[in-house]
Structure 1
Amino acid sequence: MLPYLNTSPDASVKITKIETVNPNDLMGSLMLLRIHTDAGIIGHGETYYGPGATAALVHDWMSERLLGADAMSVESHWRFFYERFGNFGIGGAEMRAISAVDLALWDILGQVCNQPIYRLLGGPVRDQVPVYNSCGNPNYGRRPGGKPGWPGYGNLGEPGPLNDSYQLFHDPVGLAQELIEEGHSGMKVWCFDQAAHRSGGMRISLEDLNHAIKPLQKIREAVGDKLEIMIDGHGFFMLPAALRIAEALREIQPLWLEDILKMDNLETLADFRKQSRMPISASEMLLHRPHYQRVLETNAADFVMVDPTWAGGISETVRIAHLAQGYNIPTTMHDCTGPLTLYAGIHVNAAVPGCCYQESVRAHIRSFYKELIDELPVIENGHVNLPTRPGLGVKLHDEVFNSDRHGYRVSQL
C-alpha cells in the first residue's frame, strides 16, 4: 500500500491541463484557476492575494503531481500538498494555492457525480443559507491599473448606487433602511480603519472613537434591532485601543467584534474577550485547522470565521467547522473577494449544521461578478438559495482565460 496515491488503478478522470490567470482589470489580487480533465470536465477554483505567488506554486510545484493524476482523489492530493508544503511553512501562499486547487477538484467530483458539492458533503441541513451584507463598494479591493490593494486600506467609495462604505458615514440610516427593505438581517462595517491609519492602532482618540460609532448610533436609533451589526477591525489595534473600542460599542450590541486585535497572539485575544465581555469572531486571518484549534482551546472566540479559499479549500473548511461544532462554537464563512469564495462558503454552510452565516458583498455581486461567472447567486429575504447545478454550481467564463490576459499561465501533459 502506498499512501497519498496521485492516481488509482481504476481512475476514470485524469487531469490534463491547469490554467491560471489574474484578471487584474477586474480585481488585482484575484487568482482564478481551471483544471481540465480527459473526460472534458473542467473544475474551477480561486484564491485571493499574491496571485503571482500562488500561480507559481500551482504550476512550478503542484502541477508535477496533478498532471496525469486522478482528478477525483481530492483528499489524497490535499494531504500530500499540505504535508510537503509543511516542510517549509504551510501558511500564506502555500495554503491559498492548496485552496484554489481543492475547490477545482471538488467541482470536478461534483460534476462527475452529477451532484452539487453540498450533497457530497453529507447532504443539505438547510434549504437556504442566511447571509449578511458587508458594506463595501463596487471598487472595494479594486485599484486603478490593476494594482493589488492592502488589506484594511480599501477606499470609502463615492456617492452612488451600492457605495455602502461611503453611505455609512454620509447617510447611515438610509443605508440601513435600504438593507432592511432588501431583506438583509445583518450588516458588517469597518468604521475604525481611518482611525487606525492615523494612530497605527496603538491607541484611539475619543474624537476618532466618537466619529466612528456615530453612524452606528444613528442606525440603532432609527431601526432598533431589525439589523444585526458586525464590526471588522482588520487586525489594526493593540489591546488598550481594542478595549476602548469594545466599551464604546457596548450600547450598539454588535453580534460580534471581528479582528479588532491582530491574530498573532491568541492568549491576548482570549484576554480581550474576557475583559471586554463582548462576542468575538476569529478569524479568516487564521489559515488551517491547528490555528483554529488553538482559538477553541484558549476560549478566545464566540464565532469561528473561515475563508474557504485561504484556509485550505472546501476540504479543510469543513473539518474546521466540524471541529468548532465540537466546542459548541458556530462557524461563519468569510467573503469579500471573488465569486467562487462565496459559492464555496454556501456549500459548506449548506452541509454543516454548526454553520450559521454567510458573508456577501452586494456591491461586488451586482457590479463585476457577472464579468467572471455564468450565474449570479440568488439572494432573497436575507438568504441565498442553494446551488442546483453539479459541482460548485457555477462556471468561470471561458474568455476570462484568454492567453493574452494578465498573468495567464498554463501547464499541460
Structure 2
Amino acid sequence: MKITKLETVIPRDIMPGLLALRIHTDAGHIGHGETYYVPEAVASTIHDWMAKRLLGANPLEIESHWRFLYERTTNFGSRGCELRAISAIDLALWDILGQVCDQPVWQLLGGRSQDKIPVYNSSAGPSYAGKSNEPHDSHVWPGHGCVGHEGPLNDYWSVVNRPTEYVQELLDEGYRAVKMWTLDFAAHKHGGPLYLSKQDLEVGLRPMRAIRDAFGNQIEIMLDGHGFFQLPTAVRIAKAMREIDPLWLEDVIRPDCVDTIADFRRQTDVPLAVSEMMIGMEDYRLVLEKRAADYIMIDPTWVGGISQTHRICNMAQSYNVPVVMHDCTGPLTLLSGLQVGTATTNVAWQETVRSQIRMIYPKLISGTIQVEAGYAHASDEPGIGGRWLPELFEGSTYQHRVSEAGR
C-alpha cells in the first residue's frame, strides 16, 4: 500500500484557524487529520516539504514517518507549524491503520481501558474558534476578553451575564463540570498581567460565586487564565479562588518557565492544570519532574498527534498524574482525544464545547458526537471515527491544495 495524494483545506467561513487534511492511498483508504492555528503555514509545511517523505511511502509505517519528520524538524525548531503538521499527518495515518484493520484507534492502542470519559463544557460560544462577525479590540486576542452578545449557545456571554441559568442548562443536559475564563478581561487592561485589582478580581469571581451559591457541589468549576498573568497576580487569584473550591486553575501563568509554575504550585493549595501550550514531550517531562502540575493537559493536534499523545499519557502515568484532553478547536481533536483516553487509564477529563459540537462540527464532519450524562464515548467505527465532509474538498473556496505522487 502506498500514499498517493495529500489534500488540505482551510474552511474559512466555518472555522478559519482549522486545517483539514486527507491522505489518500492506492488501496482506496482515506485518512483524516487536522490541526489548528496558522493553517496556511502548516499547509505549506505539509505540501512543500513533508509530502516528499510521504508520497509513495507505506502509510502504515506510522512511527517511522513520525520519527523521520520530527527529527528533521528539530534541526531548525519543531515547536510551531512543523509539529502541528506532524500532528495532522499522524492522525490521518492512524485513521488509515484503523480502516485497514477494521478497528477503532483505541483498540490498536492496546484496547479499552475506560468505557467512557468524563467531559466538561468550556464556556465558549460558536464564534470562539469559528467565524465571528463580532467586533473586537485590536489589542485583544480573538476569543479572549470580549464576551460578545447574547445569542444561541454563546456560553461565554451567558457565564458572565446569566451564570446560574446557564449552569442549570448544563446540569439539565447532564454536564457536571464547567470551565470559564472570567478574568481574561482584566489581563487586557493596562498592566493587567502585572497587577490585578481587587475590584477586577471581584468582577471575575462574581459568576463563579453565584454558581457555587446556587448549586453547591452539584457542579465542578475550573478557571482558565490563558497564560495571561505573572506570578504575584497568579498567587492573588489562587488565594481568592479558595472560596470557590475549583477542580483546578489552568494556565494562570504562561507555561514558558516551568520553575515559576512549580513555585506557584508550592504557594497554593488549589490544584493546577498545565498545559496544552507546552507543545513538546520534553516540556511535559519537565513539568512532571519538577512537580509543577496536578493535571497535565494535552492537545493531540498540537503536540504530535495520537502517537505523541499516547506517549505523554504513559509518561504521566508513571508519575501518577492525571491527564486532561484539550479541545476548543476542531472535531478531530475531540475524537482523537477520546480515542487515546479510552485506551489509557489516566485520562480523567475530556474538554468539550457544546456550541461547537452542535453548531460548527456538523458543518465539517459526518456523524455526531454525543455527550450523555456528563460522559462521552469514543467511536467504535474503524479509525478515528469521523470523516471530513467531501464538499469541503470540492472546488477552490477553501484554499484547496493537493500534492500527488509523480507531480
Secondary structure of the residue aligned to 1:257 is strand
2:30 matched to 1:42? Answer: yes
Correspondence for 1:385:
377
How many residues align? The count is 401
2:270 matched to 1:278? Answer: yes
Correspondence for 2:338:
346
Query: In the TM superposition, what whole-angstrom CA distance separates every residue of 1:40-75 from its partner, at most 9, and x where no partner exists?
Result: 100000000000000111001100010000010000
For residue 403 of structure 1, report the CA deviation from its aligned partner.
3.0
Secondary structure of the residue aligned to 2:179 is strand
2:59 matched to 1:59? Answer: no
2:292 matched to 1:292? Answer: no
On the 8 A contact 1:305/1:334 being kept in 2, the answer is: yes
The match for 1:404 among 380, 396, 402 is: 396
C-alpha distance in structure 2 between counterparts of 1:369 and 1:142, whole Å:
10
For residue 228 of structure 1, report the CA deviation from its aligned partner.
0.7
The match for 1:122 among 100, 106, 110 is: 110
For residue 170 of structure 1, report the CA deviation from its aligned partner.
1.1
For residue 382 of structure 1, report the CA deviation from its aligned partner.
0.5
Counterpart code for 1:391: G
Counterpart code for 2:246: P
C-alpha distance in structure 2 between counterparts of 1:62 and 1:386, whole Å:
29
Distance 1:217 1:180, change over 3 A: same
Query: In the TM superposition, what whole-angstrom CA distance separates every residue of 1:285-328 from its partner, at most 9, and x where no partner exists?
Result: 01121110000011100001000000000000000000001000
Counterpart code for 1:290: E
Query: In the TM superposition, what whole-angstrom CA distance separates every residue of 1:184-203 from its partner, at most 9, and x where no partner exists?
Result: 11101011110001034111
On the 8 A contact 2:187/2:193 being kept in 1, the answer is: yes
Q: TM-score normalized by structure 1?
A: 0.95
Which 10-residue stretch deviates more, 167-176 or 292-301?
167-176
2:247 matched to 1:255? Answer: yes
Correspondence for 2:3:
15
On the 8 A contact 1:243/1:275 being kept in 2, the answer is: yes
C-alpha distance in structure 1 between counterparts of 2:219 and 2:159, whole Å:
14
Correspondence for 1:162:
153
On the 8 A contact 2:9/2:400 being kept in 1, the answer is: yes
On the 8 A contact 1:27/1:146 being kept in 2, the answer is: no
Secondary structure of the residue aligned to 1:251 is coil
Correspondence for 1:237:
229
C-alpha distance in structure 1 between counterparts of 2:374 and 2:132, whole Å:
32
On the 8 A contact 1:266/1:300 being kept in 2, the answer is: yes
Correspondence for 1:8:
none
Correspondence for 1:5:
none
C-alpha distance in structure 1 between counterparts of 2:134 and 2:5, whole Å:
27
Gaps of 5+ in 2: none
Query: In the TM superposition, what whole-angstrom CA distance separates every residue of 1:26-47 from its partner, at most 9, and x where no partner exists?
Result: 1111111000000110000000
The match for 2:167 among 159, 176, 179 is: 176
For residue 178 of structure 1, report the CA deviation from its aligned partner.
1.0
Secondary structure of the residue aligned to 1:323 is helix
Counterpart code for 1:321: C
Counterpart code for 2:235: L
For residue 146 of structure 1, report the CA deviation from its aligned partner.
12
On the 8 A contact 2:42/2:85 being kept in 1, the answer is: yes
On the 8 A contact 1:152/1:193 being kept in 2, the answer is: no
For residue 151 of structure 1, report the CA deviation from its aligned partner.
6.1
Q: TM-score normalized by structure 2?
A: 0.96
C-alpha distance in structure 1 between counterparts of 2:291 and 2:154, whole Å:
37
For residue 158 of structure 1, report the CA deviation from its aligned partner.
1.9
C-alpha distance in structure 2 between counterparts of 1:346 and 1:253, whole Å:
27
2:125 matched to 1:137? Answer: yes
The match for 1:111 among 96, 99, 116 is: 99
The match for 2:365 among 364, 373, 395 is: 373
The match for 2:194 among 196, 199, 202 is: 202
Question: RMSD of the alignment, in Å?
Answer: 1.6
Counterpart code for 2:225: G
Q: Percent identity?
A: 52
C-alpha distance in structure 2 between counterparts of 1:254 and 1:407, whole Å:
43
For residue 270 of structure 1, report the CA deviation from its aligned partner.
0.3
Distance 1:308 1:61, change over 3 A: same
For residue 154 of structure 1, report the CA deviation from its aligned partner.
6.4
Counterpart code for 2:95: D
Distance 1:33 1:92, change over 3 A: same
Gaps of 5+ in 1: 1-12
For residue 127 of structure 1, report the CA deviation from its aligned partner.
1.4
Query: In the TM superposition, what whole-angstrom CA distance separates every residue of 1:139-188 from its partner, at most 9, and x where no partner exists?
Result: 11234479999365364132233111111111111111111111111101
On the 8 A contact 2:145/2:188 being kept in 1, the answer is: no
